[in-house]
Structure 1
Amino acid sequence: MGYYVTVEPGVQLYVEDINPAGSKTIVFLHGWPLNHDQFEYQFNVLPGMGYRCIGIDWRGFGKSDRPYGGYHLERLADDIRAVVDALQLKDFVLAGHSTGGAIAIKYVVRYNGGGVSKLVLIDAAAPRGFTKETAAQLLKQSLNDRANMMLGVTDIFFFRYISKPFADWFIQMGMQAAGWSTAAIIVMLRDFDLTADLSHIQVPTLIVHGIHDQVIPFSQAEEMQRLIPHSQLVPFMYSGHGSFYDERDKFNEVIQEFVGNARQAPLRVPQ
């Protein structure tokens, strides 16, 4: 089911809540400049194993409202907190991809865990995001030809072959975002540094990262593993920045192993 949650006056986030009867909850935070649909190949599988899967579109992206401001890690983490409070989530797994991983880190540290029992960082943009050079190039492209920028992002995102229809779908996912929010997140990715936050993460943490990642280098995953207590790093040998798709079967198995088996929700027989 899909619904909206108010995170501040005039701003609602879209939430996709799949298998609410699942015995274990995984909250997914998408990457820039995408939305919750990027996890289609997790949502196809994990709910059938008994998990409740929740996808949240950040402000400015996907189906969520698109205010002009609020595109910094603290506000984005506060948005997630508002959703967690509204849904009364406790003892859940928080999984963030790329920039979503940075938001997940900020959320866990800012809220002293915030109900998170385990953390999954997927090709995460941490401790840092884009270099100043990369950010300048992407910002210029975003403000002048955003569609062409999305084409370039798609070209370097995956390690394995993707079909043209898949690439078209992926590009359109990015184009659903507002132009101003797309640009604002580039600036955020240029400016933040989460190094000091990493040692404050006190929940078991799984780091999944493609060794061929051309967006966030694998060396940053190794740095995170050194700095985050109780963390483990699983390299994906045949993945780029999109390990959730490049090696989707392995990815889903690793997630299931880390989260733990869920009880299959009983079938409801129509009366």
Structure 2
Amino acid sequence: MGHYVEVESGVKVYVEDVGIGQPIVFIHGWPLNSKAFEMQISELALHGFRFIGIDLRGYGKSDKPWAGYDYSTQASDVKAVVDHLGLENIVLAGFSMGGPIAIRYLTKYGEHGVDKLLLMGAAAPLFTQRDDFKIGLRPAEVDDIISQVKKDRPAFLALFANMFFEQKKSDEFLDWFKSLGLEAAAHSTINSAIALRDEDLRDELAGISLPTAIFHGQKDQICRYELGEELEKQIPNSVLVPFKYSGHGINGDEPDRFNEEMIRFLKSSGVKRAE
């Protein structure tokens, strides 16, 4: 079933809600929406979990206001959904841009009511390089992406789709994937790219005490695998799960293994593996 939740006056976000059981709150990446997780929904429901897929403001079926694309406002929108639906004992599952939004949620609201954290190809702790951080794109490369989006967004999304996956995909699959990006507003896509370029979560990792799984493709061209390694170093109770044959879109490149590892983590006691 679908819900619309008013997250601030005049702004509603769409939520896909399937299954019963512990709620797994999925936060999608740039510039997609909750449909990107369609291959996970049935698997979760079959194993007794409830899929909560939020279309972030500006994306999918949600309203597309001019402002509010920083991580803190997006995290506030996620909290509004959690509160409105009365969700308890949730797992935050953030993919790509959704990863830093999930981390910011914990920074702003604490871990009460949150059971675990799942980071998938996360654009964290930084998406772009700094003088003291040399993983990721250079800020100027994100500026170039913004220019391409402004000039010809459909053409950029076609290039992006080809970078996203390591395994060969059908033309039909890539067309579907591009269509998700076109459901977003152009201004949302650009403003979120600015957040990806500028925001820094390095001071927000050490305080996370939740059991955390970090899924990351070893051939990721968008959020380098080194980001996953950095997250494992900085988040105390975390485990890095490498996907050897995957690019950024791990749930599309290795769907069976992705779902298997996801269910294993969700059903686990959350104890970190022995070193």
TM tier, smaller: over 0.9
Alignment equivalent of 2:99, drawn from 93, 97, 101 = 101
Structure 1 runs, 4 residues or longer, greater than 4 Å off: none
Question: Deviations for 1:207-253, whole angstroms, at most 9, x for unmatched residues?
Answer: 00000000011011101100001000000001000011111111111
Alignment of 1:54-203 (within 5 A): 54-130=52-128, 131-203=138-210
Alpha-carbon shift at residue 23 of structure 1 (Å):
2.2
What's the counterpart of residue 27 of structure 1? 25
Distance in 2, matches of 1:44 and 1:242, equals: 18
The residue type equivalent to 1:105 in the other structure is I
The residue type equivalent to 1:49 in the other structure is H
Distance in 2, matches of 1:25 and 1:47, equals: 10
Distance in 2, matches of 1:123 and 1:66, equals: 25
Question: Deviations for 1:187-219, whole angstroms, at most 9, x for unmatched residues?
Answer: 111101111101111211000000000001101
Question: Helix, strand or coil for the counterpart of 2:241?
Answer: strand
What's the counterpart of residue 15 of structure 2? 15
Contact 1:81 1:114 in 2 (8 A): no
Alignment equivalent of 2:43, drawn from 42, 45, 68 = 45
Alpha-carbon shift at residue 24 of structure 1 (Å):
1.8
What's the counterpart of residue 264 of structure 1? none
Q: Which moved more, 1:110-119 or 1:169-178?
A: 110-119
Alpha-carbon shift at residue 44 of structure 1 (Å):
2.8
Distance in 1, matches of 2:42 and 2:155, equals: 30
Alignment of 1:199-218 (within 5 A): 199-218=206-225
Structure 2 unmatched runs, 5+: 129-137, 269-275
Structure 1 pair 96–8 and aligned structure 2 pair: CA distance change class (3 A): same
What's the counterpart of residue 131 of structure 2? none
What's the counterpart of residue 132 of structure 2? none
Alignment equivalent of 2:252, drawn from 222, 245, 255 = 245
Structure 1 pair 114–36 and aligned structure 2 pair: CA distance change class (3 A): farther
Q: Which moved more, 1:112-121 or 1:70-79?
A: 112-121
Alpha-carbon shift at residue 114 of structure 1 (Å):
4.5
Structure 1 unmatched runs, 5+: 262-271
Q: Percent identity?
A: 46
Q: Which moved more, 1:6-15 or 1:36-45?
A: 36-45
| Number of aligned positions between the proteins | 259
Distance in 2, matches of 1:44 and 1:247, equals: 16
Instruction: Tell me: higher relative CO, structure 1 or 2? Use CA pairs within 8 A at least 6 residues apart.
Output: 1
